[in-house]
Structure 1
Amino acid sequence: MIELKELCKVFPGDQGPFTALDHVNITVHDGEVYGVIGMSGAGKSTLVRCINLLERPSEGTVLIDGEDMLALSPKALREKRRSISMIFQQFNLLMQRTCLKNICFPMEIAGVPAAQAKKRALELLEIVGLPDKADAYPAQLSGGQKQRVAIARALATSPKVLLCDEAT
């Protein structure tokens, strides 16, 4: 379960502070799919980035399975993030790695044996409809194909939580 309590994020600005998130309260129970919609600049990306602490909130609490993410040590936070994946708005694929190696990357970090990671990555390429793109580099893909590789990469470690920033 994800719980956001009184979450605030204020950015400094030339014209004074800008409040991107103003006392947001959300509870997402296990198994629920929760969507946040709004105008450009409304704080949707900031909200998603605050859940996994890629962006630190100015105030409030972020609880995942009852654990206060803001109270975790850097090591414990890295460990907790292993159960959280994110599909970024700009995909954040590694340009020097093939699609297959982009998908294998989170498994490599998690210590999954290379043969097992490759098998899982090939399965995911099949699922997202890109089995023929295993050896292609991101620069050789369309935007939609990059998005599907990013989705496959996010699913590679079978995360408990999947955060999507404008993923289809």
Structure 2
Amino acid sequence: MVSVGDFCSVGTASDLLVVEAMWKQRGGVVRLCKLSNGLQLALPEERLTLSTDPVGAFRKHMDKIVRASRKKSRASAKPVFESNPACEFAEYLAITKDEGATYRIKSITYFLILQESQYLTPHYSLKALWRDVCVKCDLLDIDPPTLGFVRDRLHSRHRSLLLEMIGR
């Protein structure tokens, strides 16, 4: 089942897409955004292949964009920290802002939520997760998500955790 914020691909294409909206009334049509260039697509849900590892898929996309940018500017005097994922993430964010690629900001927020949700345990509530994501967004100078936004993205995961807590 597809939900808003999921990372996916279509067919054998290697481009990463993010689900932006869904219309069940129109036969399960999904609005997508291609993260490499911002192209907007509307496709039926059955044509999508959901990413089994969304965090890894986003990191792979981020690596692809950063490497392409580094190729363009080989003569830059800035040192390159290829082995440090935090530096690569900061570089990806800088590339996004420099290119004016605002369509990537929501997917960065989705990525932060997914990354933080890996630590979702019975003692780590959704509110605490939301606060931590907001702090990261403030540090990165992007708009923080609302609690409802985070709750919607993690609804099924949070529900299964609660059922596990009560022993069902």
TM range (shorter): 0.3 to 0.5
Larger RCO of the pair (alpha carbons < 8 Å, separation 6+): 1
TM-score normalised by structure 1 residue count: 0.34
Higher share in strand: 1
**TM-score, structure 2 as length reference:** 0.34
If each structure's helix is expressed as a fraction of its own residues, which one has the higher value?
2
